[in-house]
Amino acid sequence: MNPESLPRPYPRRTLLRTAGLAAVTAPLLSACVTSAGKEEKPAQAGGAKTAENPLGVKADAPLEVVVFKGGYGDDYAIKAEQQYTAKYPQAKIDHKGLQKVGEAMQPRFVAGDPPDVVDNTGAGRLDIATLVGAKQVTDLAELLAAPAFDQPGKTVRDTLLPGVIEDGTFDGSTVTLNFTYTVWGVWYSKSLFAERGWTYPKTWAEMLALCETIKKAGIAPWTYQGKYAEYINDPLLTMAAKAGGLDLVKAVDNLDPAAWSQPGLKQAAEAFAELAGKGYIMSGSEALSHTEAQAAWCQKKAAFIPCGSWLESEQKEVTPAGFDMVMGTVPSASSGDRLPVTAVQASSSESYLVPAQAKNRAGGLEYLRILFAKESATAFAQANSTLPAVAGATDGLTLTSGLGSVRDAVTAAGPDAFNYRFRTWYAPLAKAVDDATAELVNRRISAADWSARIQKASDSLAKDSTVKKYKR
């Protein structure tokens, strides 16, 4: 989801991480499922497949594109439409830029008359899990295997950053492609660190030693967005993944019976308990909203703050000149970590899909091939100071300190970018983790209690036959 779209007082990442949750989406009516069950397919507009037309677009078939018009606007989508028109000048394009995609699109999906492309983003988006269950979305395998629009020798699949395909995959089929890429890390002021002679730590032992130095300098080492404990969950869970590797991440997402007692998770919980126990978290952080905590950090009342890569954009109106914020990767727990210190937690958002009953499915797929071209993604990055999901889109650009650090982190991570999916799959488990971590970093429970509480919530979900389960 486009973080800019989130209404205050919600923090941007809260809805960014809930793209699959019916609780924040417009539920599809049962009639939609009934319609899908009949498998009534409209006559498809298609043409001959050639090297120049790999998806078989009918040159004069109309194309309808619906785009969520949030903080990123829709100019970037319109530019891709203009490229489509340049290639297929006989095709008439109907563009709609909307705020409430779900409200407008739900009746059209129910009626079996959806548009050809939908940017299913925003707080009122359609529930993707319901769409998938009702077979209302097109499997994008053909698009992913098609030649990239402007990168000879590559397929569309080859051009995407790590995790993008997995983020849009449900029950083995990739049904959405997300256009933007979010990375989570620990942020600090590069100028402050240079002024004080501090070096960003690579290990947790180095982090604790630096925190003691920072504390003696009269600055709080850490603050966090206390009203939304999920913010501080990110570095904790990232540290755990580095310690235990991808097997740990899969065990958590798969609701394994011993997932939360794995050594990597215990080690990470103990690390953050120690951070709090030594007084390295700014007093009063628990009561702060995301904007309040981030403002205090920009005022140099604290040296570190956990956040996603939207932080620079979100703080641009209040960041002092010369602050030079940058994102650091979460330090390693120990030398025995299974993932390198350069590994990052990342996921994609701004979710595009092609409805299964679209009249011009081939055109919808071709439009996405154009939208996800490198030229299109580069223009988007320049206009929005946001990392697109297309690899290399920011190469050669002069970037701000924050976006530059995010780009560098993704480059350094390479294939070691990962993402937990339990937050989008299981809302009750996400809340249980948030609540337990809030108690942990405010010294009200131990690391062992933290692990036991979350495992109990995970086991309860695993046994609940009414909850659809996903596997990695």
The pLDDT tens digits for 287-308 are 999 999 999 999 999 999 999 9
Q: Which CATH superfamily is domain 3-182+348-409 in?
A: Periplasmic binding protein-like II (3.40.190.10)
| Contact (Cβ atoms closer than 8 angstroms) between residue 433 and residue 268 | no
For the chain, the 3-state helix, strand and coil shares in percent, each to the nearest 5, are 45, 15, 40
Token pair for 255: 């609701």
d(CA 288, CA 339): 32
Contact 315, 307 (CB under 8 A): no
Fold match between domain 3-182+348-409 and domain 183-345+422-463:
yes
Residues of the chain with pLDDT under 70: 1-45
pLDDT recorded at residue 26: 47
Q: What is the CA radius of gyration of the chain?
A: 23
* The predicted structure's pLDDT at residue 11: 52
Residue 335 vs residues 103, 135, 238, 244, 259: alpha-carbon distances, Å? 51, 47, 15, 12, 22
Q: What is the pLDDT of residues 105-147, one digit of tens each?
A: 999 999 999 999 999 988 778 888 789 889 999 999 999 999 9
Q: Does domain 183-345+422-463 have CATH number 3.90.1150.10?
A: no
Q: What residue segments make up the domains of the chain, in order of their start?
A: 3-182+348-409, 183-345+422-463
DSSP 182: E
pLDDT of res. 128: 84
Q: What is the pLDDT of residue 43?
A: 53
